[in-house]
Amino acid sequence: MQPDISVKHLNKIYEDGFQALKDVNLEIYPGEIFALLGPNGAGKTTLISIICGIVNKSDGEVKAAGHDIVKQYRKAREAIGLVPQELNTDSFETVWDAVSFSRGLFGKAPKPAHIEKVLKDLSLWDKRNNRIMSLSGGMKRRVMIAKALSHEPRILFLDEPTAGVDVELRRDMWEMVRKLRENGTTIILTTHYIEEAEEMADRIGVIRQGEIILVEDKNRLMSKLGKKELRLQLQQKLDKLPGELTLEPIELSEDGYELIYTFDSQQQQAGVARLLRTLGDLDIEYRDLQTRESSLEEIFVGLVHE
Amino acid sequence: MNLYGVKAIYKFEMARMKRTVMQSVLSPVISTCLYFVVFGSAIGSRMGDIDNISYGAYIIPGLVMLSLLMQSISNASFGIYMPKFSGTIYEVLSAPVSYVEIVLGYVGAATTKAVILGLIILATAKLFVDYSILHPFWMFSFLVLTAMTFSLFGFIIGIWADGFEKLQIVPMMIVTPLVFLGGTFYSIEMLPEIWQTISLFNPVVYLISGFRWAFYGVSDVHVGISVGMTMVFLTMCMTAVWWIFKTGYRLRS
């Protein structure tokens, strides 16, 4: 399958000598939701800005929808919609005019029915004649999305789309993103909310100091790098770990009433069964047990701090 | 060519003119009318004719040119500076529009606004001063050519400026003095010879002279030279714009 976004050996060195991207290689396929994660200053926005044509690349090859972003910039850009991180909108325009402007700018003939649909989908229809300056932050964020969708792009970049929006709006946006994907739109998402990536993404890319350090299917990533934790609440206090248990990756809580056993997700339950048998042999009784799987956030933090 | 893109930028800029009609139209018309009242009707009636033209009528081309230059620069510089300032420039830079199309949209709208304003000022001048236009076609051509050239110049200023102060520096500190010293209120033939020579280094002399020729058939320099000098400045501006987009100067990092 031909990728919608293809990045090969991409480098970006700014005028002050700072290298924001180092030999980045990445392919994103049609219809997937790809989450690009990384700490502040890792190069996420630079990468998106180069693909969208806002920042010049220093070296390498970038294609969008099969078109080179420099030699065939019109075709490449026509395919892309961008929702930037900042709420950059013209305050004095009405919602309708602002969204119609974006459609025209991207070379599409006026299509009021499409603009109406986008505004209705984003709950902006009632605000269509309002000036953008009169809208709340959440509504402005919706306008940014409406502008990006106005020209019916097949690839949508969402750069921190839910930064600063309330929980309800965030849920609405997740729903909208899923609907877009169902219609075949490829979505590239950067976010600080790891739960957002965990909730929506098909694949995860992690960028650190300008380098892509990992690209993986989300579920595979979580099972490969994720940890599981088993907590056993004991009937009686233990003063120290019995010698039979010291070989296991197991800890005793400070109060002596809890055993915490950590194991790889891939390791399945073999270690757990062995642990429970050992506890039985030692006559250590427990009144409750809980298991917990590590979140993507914990995996992410582990990766970027390696 | 992305004609829808050009139209979108053009319409957006023209809509800004409608929203700010007080600032964009009324304000320059009123301030220019004050010149007509003071120098045309009040003081002008006590001044002698220049080249057999009443003083009030003589200064009209120069005053229209003053407003035209200021508004062309102001409209175009503000038009491109504001998206940079507010951050909305990302949309233009990421859209499938070529450099030529971006310039057509912004400079086309700034030129249109300046030409409309010039025509309004000319119509308003009729209320205060009696004047005639000997070569209407050339008058309009000069009006459009000058508006276009200085809109391009304003576009360059708007890209260069990184603060509101810089937007004002060139029009206020350079263009206004050049217009006042460029023969708006007098013929440069009235100056001592040394100042006549110095005045010929002022590009605005050629603009006003050519424009005045279109009105009354008299000029300080030959009309062909006026057209030539305007074309030279236009070419310089186009070259600068080409370089800006080629290098991404203050637009793309």
Structure pTM? 0.83
Which site among A88, A105, A140 would you substitute to test the B interface, given the most B Cβ atoms closer than 10 Å to its Cβ?
A: A105
Contact B95, B88 (CB under 8 A): no
How far apart, in whole angstroms, are the C-alpha atoms of residue B248 and residue B145?
27
User: Which residues are within 8 A (CB) of B129 and not within 5 positions of it... i.e. 6 or more apart?
Assistant: B36, B40, B41, B44, B54, B56, B57, B60
Q: What residues have CB less than 8 Å from A120, skipping those under 6 apart? A: none
Length reported for chain A:
306
A104 to chain B: which residues are within 8 Å by CB?
4-5, 7-8, 11
**pLDDT tens for residues A27-75?**
999 999 999 988 888 899 999 999 999 999 999 999 999 999 999 999 9
Q: How near does any CA of chain B get to the CA of A213, in Å?
A: 25
Fold of A5-222: Rossmann fold (3.40.50)
Please report, in tens digits, the pLDDT of each residue of chain B (253 residues total): 899 999 999 999 999 888 888 888 888 899 888 888 888 777 877 777 788 888 888 889 999 999 999 999 999 999 999 999 988 999 999 999 999 999 999 999 999 999 999 999 999 998 888 888 999 999 999 999 999 999 999 999 999 998 888 888 888 888 888 888 888 888 888 888 888 888 888 888 998 999 999 999 988 889 999 999 999 999 999 999 999 988 888 888 7
Residues of chain B found within 8 Å of residue A109, distances taken between Cβ atoms: 4
Q: Using an 8 Å CB-CB cutoff, list chain A residues near B252.
A: 54-56
Instruction: Give CATH 3.40.50.300 domain extents, chain A.
Output: 5-222
Q: At what angle do helices A296-304 and A218-225 cross, to 10 degrees?
A: 70
B252 touches chain A (CB under 8 A): yes
Q: Give the residue range(s) of CATH 3.30.70 domains in chain A.
A: 226-304
pLDDT value at A129 more than 90? yes
Identity of the residue in A55, A88, A108 whose CB atom sits nearest the CB atom of B86: A88
Question: Quick check: B4 contacting A, CB < 8 Å?
Answer: yes
Q: What topology is assigned to A226-304 in CATH?
A: Alpha-Beta Plaits (3.30.70)
Q: What is the pLDDT of residues A229-241, one digit of tens each?
A: 888 899 888 888 8
What is the predicted ipTM? 0.86
Residue of chain A with shortest Cα separation from B84 = A88
Read off the amino acid at residue A8.
K
User: What token pair was written down for A95?
Assistant: 């919602």
Among candidates B4, B9, B252 on the partner chain, residue whose Cβ is nearest the Cβ of A56: B252
Nearest to B127 by CA among B41, B27, B214: B41
Residue B175 DSSP class: I
Rg (CA), chain B: 19
- Tens of pLDDT along A169-226? 788 888 888 888 998 999 999 876 777 788 889 999 989 889 998 898 888 877 766 6
Q: Does B5 touch chain A (CB under 8 A)?
A: yes
